[in-house]
Chains A and B, each alone.
Chain A
Amino acid sequence: MIEISHLTKKFNDKSGEVTALHDVNLSIGRGDVFGIIGMSGAGKSTLLRCLSTLETPTSGTVTLDGVNLHTLSGNDLIQMRRRMGVVFQGYNLLMQRTVRQNVAFPLSLAGGDPAETARRTSELLELVGLSAKADSYPSQLSGGQKQRVAIARALSTSPEVLLCDEPTSALDSLTTKSVLELLRDINRKLNVTIVIITHEIAVVKAICNKVAVIDASEFVEWGDTQEIFAAPKSRMTRQLLGYEVMNDD
């Protein structure tokens, strides 16, 4: 469903050119829960930003069902963005709007019928278990609840893909577990493909059927989670699994 091919992303900063991603290739199938794991600075967030069209690759392509995401513009780009929901580490909720208004926001941007928007919003709040908090403001919620609102919001336009950037990194372990269970439910019930960027091996073990390990801007290993973790080939994977001690040099 998503094909990443020869994706390279370079940034220019004061110290010169920095390569965040180098010739990355990956194929994500419909219905997958795909984990992309790596250390900080490995390039995984940049990869997700290329998928969500917030960044344009320096070279290479990302396609969704054969459509190149980065050649789209105007209304085509907006329509494509509605086919993908994005969940952020920092939630990025609108602080001056209620939970209900936050979840309804993407639909109201699309100019949907208010009655249909209201129905869909209630349905999503039920799904994430926050119907009772519909009229609260984000500042009144806990981290886990905020992330549930963000997930409901990302699902409101009925996207085919949910892109999650470190969705549980700001949460404690119990809350992490319940948010991950929610994501797994969404994948099963709604058949939404999920891509999760994380640095926590536990997240991948808990819900991902596929995994790709990224190290220093490149994928070092990818495939079925069970196979990869049963017989890790790369040093980075072994380090992430704790089989090998990390060298700081």
Chain B
Amino acid sequence: MIETIQKFAPLLWENTLVTLGMVGASTLFAYLLGLPMGVLLRVTDRGGIMENHAFNSAFGWVVNILRSLPFIILMISISPFTRLLVGKAIGPVAACVPLVIGAAPFVARLVETSLAEIDTGMIEAAKCMGATNWQIISKVMVRESVPSLIRGLSISTITILGYSAMAGAIGGGGLGDVAIRYGQHRFEPKVMLLTIILLVIIVCVIQIVFDRLSTRLDKRNR
């Protein structure tokens, strides 16, 4: 085992960094898309500050359809678009495109759920103070749900990590790629085991860090 670790350490280290980079960048962009989508779902919902039933159900459908596509199918089917956007369809950078598109609707639902936890009384109070809709969204809804949004962030980061391992199957790079190429194709069970251990560690670290951050930022727990 020690021999295997020594032999594969540089490869595993390099691909851990690739995975972290891929997951970090994809999560960031998934939130840039998913956060506004989630806000839109919430505010146009029944009882929302910009209630709009037609828009809400149409947009809800789009989100549901995108969420129903198996990630691996999404990845292959949008590869022409990926190529158009980043110039190639293979490799870690290219993998970010389907990762973002696959995760954004999931993030949108998580954000929507977090925002729905906000007491409507708080929103009405802000209205009475003369807040604009934009101020209610930014200074009340999003600001007050930060602890919950961070808990959602840990769920989505870990989900994206799972997707990124799948992306490895078709040349996405990273730890998933190592598991497939060395563990599966070259039949090196020890390498497979090491990759899995690394992934488990990454998942635990993400979970613990975000949980602590959320608890620490939540001023209701004092």
Contact = CB atoms under 8 A, between A and B. Distances in A.
Interface in A150-194: 153, 157
A58 interface: no
B139 A109 contact: yes
Interface string A105-127: 11001100000000000000000
Interface stretch (A85-93, A216-224, A232-240): A85-93
Interface in B112-153: 119, 121-122, 124-132, 135, 139-140, 143-144, 146-147
Nearest to A89: B121
Interface string A61-101: 00000000000000000110110111010101111110000
A51 B121 CA distance: 16
Q: Which of A82, A106, A153 has the most CB of B within 10 A?
A: A106
Size bracket, chain B contacts = 20 to 34
Given A54-B124, A92-B119, A92-B124, A137 B131 contact: no
A52 interface: yes
Given A94-B144, A95-B144, A109 B125 contact: no
B128 A84 contact: yes
Interface stretch (B66-74, B85-93, B184-192, B214-222): B214-222
A158 to B, nearest CB: 13
Q: Which of B125, B130, B219 has the most CB of A within 10 A?
A: B125
B140 A94 contact: yes
B207 to A, nearest CB: 22
A140 B122 CA distance: 18
Contacts of A84: 128
A139 interface: yes
A92 B130 contact: no
Contacts of A153: 129
A95 B218 CA distance: 9
Interface of B is mostly: helix
A77 to B, nearest CB: 8
B46 to A, nearest CB: 13
Q: Which of B128, B132, B143, B219 has the most CB of A within 10 A?
A: B128
Given A137-B222, A139-B222, A88 B129 contact: no
A110 B127 contact: no
Contacts of A85: 128
A106 B222 contact: no
A139 B219 CA distance: 7
A86 B123 CA distance: 13
B130 A106 contact: yes
A79 B121 contact: no
A92 B125 contact: yes
Given A94-B140, A96-B143, A139-B222, A106 B129 contact: yes
A109 B129 contact: yes
A163 B22 CA distance: 53
B219 A96 contact: yes
A179 B185 CA distance: 75
Contacts of B140: 94
Contacts of B144: 94-96
A139 B129 contact: no
A88 B121 contact: yes
B121 A82 contact: no
A153 B131 CA distance: 14
Contacts of B122: 92-94
A110 to B, nearest CB: 7
Contact of A54 (B128, B130, B143, B219): B128
Interface of A: 52-54, 78-79, 81-82, 84-86, 88, 90, 92-97, 105-106, 109-110, 137-140, 153, 157
8 closest Cβ pairs, A-B complex: A92-B125, A106-B129, A137-B219, A86-B128, A81-B130, A78-B130, A92-B121, A82-B130
7 contacts: A54-B127, A78-B132, A86-B128, A94-B140, A96-B144, A96-B220, A139-B221
Given A93-B122, A95-B144, A109-B139, 14 more contacts: A53-B128, A78-B130, A78-B132, A81-B129, A81-B130, A90-B119, A92-B119, A92-B122, A105-B129, A105-B139, A109-B126, A109-B129, A139-B219, A139-B220
